[in-house]
């Protein structure tokens, strides 16, 4: 808990929002929070699909190509 | 740079960015015969570690001065912080523009709305949106003698620093790490105070006339003779205000057709004086003798712009101790350059007089030089002597000339007698003429305190700037929020410090400044160091990546560039 308070204090200092008024702090926090939340959400939704597509793509390249070259050689 | 926000940020101390003066033109012809060879071209701005001097043969003692480089990550985060604050500044300005929320600042009246906007430049934006938020760290009222400890008036702000109210309470016994009280003569008891009271009973406080009319008391004459004797110069003259000593006497010394070479970190009074004089001003890099030499050579080779006539005079303006960097001027090199290129030197010893040297006689004493080598010795009584006012010392012709031509001698009321007496008494104590060793004790105490405090801070791992012998100790904070947080946290621990930000420093190099005094006891310094350690951990100020303090550099190799 102590550590979390310290961490929050460091966050306040480094971003500079230590000097802001409380309502400005909450604006900044909510903007930052929603941005981070959106990043996480989008990654949750889209990353698996992309990963699967990418996997298919690469396996198509790596797995498929030798076959086709072989086919050409023949 | 407007003076207004500088003053606010610094409690009226210094606005020290000279923006005037163009870069010297290219040095086309002369390439050899440099007094100080440039080992590498100019130091790039990032590379700021300067341990020791290049011309070691000129120094009798190790000259250790360090400016540790800003860590890259810290610099980036600092800019990010300023960026965020600027965005919120724009948001607040936008809201104010549409009258959302209470507006407590100065703004144009309805009738003026169609005129050129008054409050739109960067300085105003900065004052309104950044400085205002941490304004509680400056202009704090003090209600006791600002000695080693002081009492502060407690104040609260109901509206985030737009207005302040005094609660009526007093914060007792705050350790004072901010006053320029180097020798601890800011006292309300003791020999100086007694003498001042006595003189007040004899002469009163006000004088009500200038030196050349009815304001020339015998005590002033006595003071001037004493100052001349103290400095080891032929003659000296004193003024009622240190700032005016600079800003009014430089115009009397130089004029059109003269060239002023000014250090980039010179005090606002020197900058103002140089501008008022109407001379051409060129600025050299802080304490960088290669830069100074290049400007001198260019000036001599090319002469005045367009006409190419030789300059009538070349005046080099330097300070003894730079109050924001804690660095000491490389005076031996400046004097060698001055002699070689036949220029004049104006040395402002505001911070160094009394605070440096084994006899307390300033940088000249510190380096063991001859005071007559410096053409104009200027200094103030505000710092080490616990008085007010300034002096100029030099050859008799110079002083006689200034008596006739200086505005602050002709038009300004002379120094109040109690102040003059305070200076006389404290100066006699420093010189040991009072028959005690009090002055020598204070000098020793100051240098011990300085060494101790600097060493401990260095071991702690914070970044400190400046010379290892300078009683001004800047501790780097960098991030804007840390300026406010540091001042508040230290005050919570009953320690009064000065925090400094833009425009008195470059925008990313915000710092806190400690001024060591002979009045501080070891216990006080230990209290401060302990608090500093706590706050340093809390605010993550221990940026330094140096393993330990740099070892003092011993000079072995004799460089003989001076003999060519
Ligand atoms: C280098 C320098 N010159 C001049 C002055 C002005 O002196 P005074 O405060 O006595 O007017 C100061 C004050 O801070 C200073 O630092």
B19-57, pLDDT tens digit by residue?
333 333 333 333 445 555 544 433 333 334 444 445 667
Asked whether residue B217 is assigned to any structural domain, the reply reads yes
Do B461 and B421 share a domain, yes or no?
no
Q: What is the mean pLDDT of residues B211-236?
A: 93
Contacts of B221-225 with CB under 8 Å at 24 or more apart are: B222/B420, B222/B424, B223/B415, B223/B420, B223/B423, B223/B424, B224/B391
Residue B212, pLDDT score: 87
Ligand 1 atom with the shortest distance to the CA of B13: 14
Instruction: Please state which of the ranges A58-67, B241-250, B276-285, B497-506 shows the lowest mean pLDDT.
Output: A58-67
Cβ pairs A/B, distance under 8 A: 48
pLDDT for B340 equals: 93
Q: What is the arithmetic mean of pLDDT over B125-129? A: 86
Position B377 in a domain: yes
Could you confirm whether B361 is annotated as catalytic? no
- pLDDT at residue B109 in the model: 77
CA-nearest residue for atom 6, ligand 1, is B243
Percent of chain B with pLDDT over 70: 86
Q: Tell the residue nearest (CA) to atom 3 of ligand 1.
A: B350
Q: Half-sphere exposure (CA, 13 Å, Cβ side) for B127?
A: 19
pLDDT of residue B544: 83
Q: Does residue B191 or residue B36 have the better pLDDT?
A: B191
Residue B184's pLDDT band (cuts 50, 70, 90): very high
**Per-residue pLDDT for A3 more than 80?**
yes
Rounded distance from Cα B298 to ligand 1 centre (Å)? 31
**pLDDT mean over B238-261:** 94
Residue B103 forms part of a structural domain: no
Sort out which chain B residues have CB atoms less than 8 A from A10's CB and list them.
540
Instruction: Give residue-wise pLDDT tens across range A46-73.
Output: 888 989 999 998 888 877 655 555 555 5
The pLDDT value given to residue B67: 85
Confidence of residue B13 (pLDDT cuts 50, 70, 90): very low
Chain B CB within 8 Å of residue A19 CB: yes
Smallest CA–CA separation between B484 and chain A, in Å?
A: 7
Identify the pLDDT of residue B41: 37
Question: Is pLDDT above 50 for B6?
Answer: no
Listing DSSP states for B44-87 in one string gives PTT----BS-S-GGG-SS--BEE-PPPPHHHHHHHHHHHHHHHH
Catalytic residue among B66, B179, B269, B323: B323
- Contact yes or no for B84 and A28 at CB 8 A: yes
Q: Return the pLDDT at B127.
A: 85
Rounded to an integer, the average pLDDT of B238-251 is: 94
pLDDT averaged over every residue in chain A: 85
Q: What is the pLDDT of residue B403?
A: 92
Among B383, B398, B431, give the residue marking a domain's end.
B431
Q: Is B5 a catalytic residue?
A: no
Model-level ipTM above the cut of 0.90: no
Residues in chain B within 8 Å Cβ distance of A14: 77, 80-81, 479, 481
How many CB atoms neighbour CB B262 within 10 A? 25
Token pair in block for residue B533: 């350690």
pLDDT of residue B5: 41
Confidence of residue A16 (pLDDT cuts 50, 70, 90): confident
CATH of the domain at B504: 3.90.1150.10
Distance CA B280, CA B282 (A): 7
Closest Cβ–Cβ partner in B91, B484, B538 for A19? B484
Residue B1 reports pLDDT greater than 70 = no
pLDDT of residue B373: 93
CB B429 within 8 A of CB B423: no
Ligand 1: lining residues by beta carbon, under 6 Å = B 13-14, 241-243, 246, 267, 269, 319, 323, 348, 350-351, 380, 382, 390
Q: What is the distance between the alpha carbons of residues B151 and B15, in angstroms, rounded to a whole number?
A: 28
pLDDT surpasses 90 at B112: no
Q: How close is the nearest chain B Cα to the Cα of A29, in Å? A: 12
Across the strands, what pairs with B496?
B176
pLDDT mean over A23-31: 92
DSSP assignments along B462-523, one per residue: --B-EETT-SEEEEEEESHHHHHHHHHHHHHTTEE-EEE-TTTS-TT-EEEEEE--TT--HH
Cα of B530 vs its chain's centroid, Å: 27
Within-domain flag for B65: no
The domain total for chain B is 2
Same domain, B175 and B200: no
Confidence of residue B253 (pLDDT cuts 50, 70, 90): very high
Cα nearest neighbour of A13 on chain B: B481
Mean pLDDT of B80-106: 83
B481 assigned to some structural domain: yes
Same domain, B336 and B423: yes
Which of B360, B375, B546 has its CA nearest to residue B465? B546
pLDDT at residue A61, as a whole number: 82
Query: What would the two tokens of residue B175 be?
Result: 């350790």
- Comparing A72 with B103, the larger pLDDT belongs to B103
Residues B393 and B481 in one domain: no
Mean of pLDDT values over B388-415 = 93
* pLDDT score recorded for residue B235: 95
Catalytic (active site) residue B323: yes
Average pLDDT for B407-419: 91
**Is residue B282's pLDDT more than 90?**
yes
B224 and B363 assigned to the same domain = yes
Please give the biggest Cα pair distance in chain A.
75
pLDDT at B53: 47
Q: What is the DSSP string of B412-455?
A: SBPPPHHHHHHHHHHHHHHHTTTSSSHHHHHHHHHHHHHHHHHH
* Mean pLDDT value of segment B208-232: 93
Give me B368's structure tokens. 């063991």
The burial of B118, by beta-carbon neighbours within 10 Å (0-12 exposed, 13-18 middle, 19 or more buried), is given as: exposed
Whether residue B211 sits in one domain with residue B143: no
Instruction: Assess contact for B294 and B283: CB atoms under 8 A.
Output: no
Please indicate, yes or no, whether residues B366 and B498 belong to a single structural domain of this protein.
no
Could you tell me if residue B449 is inside a domain?
A: yes
Instruction: Point out the least confidently predicted range of B51-55, B147-151, B292-296.
Output: B51-55
Mean per-residue pLDDT for B471-486? 92
pLDDT of A74 above 90? no
Which residues in chain A have Cβ-Cβ distances shorter than 8 Å to B480? 16, 19
The answer to whether position B463 is within a domain reads: yes
Tell me which of B384, B413, B431 is where a domain ends. B431
pLDDT of residue B502: 84
The answer to whether A32 contacts chain B (CB < 8 Å) is: no
pLDDT at B129: 86
Q: Choose among B387, B384, B364: nearest CA to B442.
A: B384
- Quick check: B278 pLDDT over 60? yes
Q: Which is more confident, B237 or B50?
A: B237
Domain that holds residue B279: 191-431
Q: pLDDT, tens digit, for every residue of B50-90?
A: 444 456 677 777 788 888 888 899 999 999 999 999 999 99
Give the least confident one: B10-19, B107-116, B351-360: B10-19
pLDDT confidence bin for B365, thresholds 50/70/90:
very high
| Domain edge (last residue) among B392, B412, B431 | B431
Does residue B517 surpass a pLDDT of 50? yes
Q: What is the pLDDT of residue B40?
A: 41
Contact check, Cβ <8 Å, A15/B134: no
pLDDT-derived band at B564, boundaries 50, 70, 90:
very low
Residues B409 and B482 in one domain: no
The answer, yes or no, to whether residue B114 has pLDDT greater than 70, is: yes
* Terminal Cα-to-Cα distance of chain A (whole angstroms): 69
């Amino acid at each position: 808990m102590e550590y979390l308070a310290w961490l929050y204090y460091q966050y306040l200092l480094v971003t500079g929002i230590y000097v802001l008024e409380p309502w400005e702090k909450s604006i900044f926090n909510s903007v930052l929070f929603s941005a981070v939340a959106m990043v996480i959400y989008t990654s949750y939704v889209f990353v698996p699909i992309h990963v699967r597509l990418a996997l298919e793509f690469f396996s198509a390249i790596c797995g498929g190509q030798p076959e086709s070259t072989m086919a050409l050689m023949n | 740079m407007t003076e207004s926000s500088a003053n606010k940020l610094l409690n009226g101390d210094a606005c020290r960015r000279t923006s005037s003066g163009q870069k010297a033109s290219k040095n086309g012809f002369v390439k050899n015969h440099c007094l100080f060879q440039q080992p590498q071209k100019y130091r790039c701005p990032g590379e700021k570690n300067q341990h020791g001097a290049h011309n070691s043969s000129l120094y009798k003692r190790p000259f250790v001065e360090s400016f540790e480089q800003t860590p890259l990550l810290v610099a980036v985060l600092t800019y990010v912080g300023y960026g965020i604050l600027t965005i919120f500044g724009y948001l607040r300005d936008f809201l104010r523009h549409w009258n959302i929320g209470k507006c407590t600042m100065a703004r144009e009246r309805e009738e003026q709305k169609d005129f050129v906007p008054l409050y739109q430049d960067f300085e105003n934006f900065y004052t309104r949106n950044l400085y205002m938020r941490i304004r509680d760290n400056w202009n704090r009222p003090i209600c006791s003698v600002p000695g080693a400890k002081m009492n502060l008036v407690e104040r609260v702000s109901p509206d985030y620093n737009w207005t302040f109210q005094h609660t009526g309470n007093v914060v007792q016994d705050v350790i004072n790490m901010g006053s320029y009280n180097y020798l601890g003569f800011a006292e309300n008891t003791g020999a100086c105070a007694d003498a001042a009271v006595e003189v007040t009973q004899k002469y009163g406080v006000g004088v009500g006339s200038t030196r050349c009319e009815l304001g020339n008391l015998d005590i002033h004459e006595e003071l001037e003779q004493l100052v001349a004797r103290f400095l080891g110069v032929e003659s000296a003259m004193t003024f009622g205000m240190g700032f005016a000593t600079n800003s009014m006497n430089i115009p009397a010394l130089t004029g059109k057709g003269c060239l002023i070479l000014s250090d980039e970190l010179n005090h606002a009074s020197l900058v103002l004086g140089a501008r008022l004089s109407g001379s051409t001003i060129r600025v050299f890099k802080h304490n960088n003798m290669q830069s100074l030499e290049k400007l001198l050579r260019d000036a001599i080779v090319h002469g005045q712009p367009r006409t190419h006539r030789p300059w009538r005079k070349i005046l080099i303006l330097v300070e003894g101790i730079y109050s924001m960097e804690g660095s000491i001027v490389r005076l031996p090199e400046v004097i060698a350059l001055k002699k070689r290129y036949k220029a004049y030197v104006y040395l402002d010893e505001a911070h160094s007089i009394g605070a440096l040297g084994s006899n307390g006689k300033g940088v000249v004493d510190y380096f063991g030089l001859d005071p007559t080598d410096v053409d104009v010795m200027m200094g103030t009584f505000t710092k080490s002597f616990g008085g007010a006012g300034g002096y100029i010392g030099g050859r008799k012709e110079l002083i006689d000339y200034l008596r006739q031509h200086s505005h602050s001698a002709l038009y300004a009321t002379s120094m109040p007698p109690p102040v003059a007496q305070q200076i006389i008494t404290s100066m006699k104590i420093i010189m040991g003429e009072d028959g005690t060793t009090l002055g020598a004790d204070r000098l020793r105490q100051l240098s011990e305190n300085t060494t101790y405090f600097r060493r401990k801070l260095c071991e702690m791992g914070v970044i400190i700037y400046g010379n290892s012998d300078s009683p001004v100790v800047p501790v780097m904070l960098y991030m804007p929020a840390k300026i406010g947080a540091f001042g508040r946290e230290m005050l919570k621990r009953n320690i009064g410090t000065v925090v400094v930000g833009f425009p008195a420093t470059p925008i990313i190099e915000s710092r806190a400044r400690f001024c060591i005094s002979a009045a501080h006891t070891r216990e006080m310094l230990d209290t401060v160091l302990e608090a500093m350690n706590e706050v340093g951990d809390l605010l993550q100020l221990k940026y330094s990546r140096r393993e330990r303090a740099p070892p003092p550099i011993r000079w072995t190799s004799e460089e003989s560039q001076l003999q060519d």
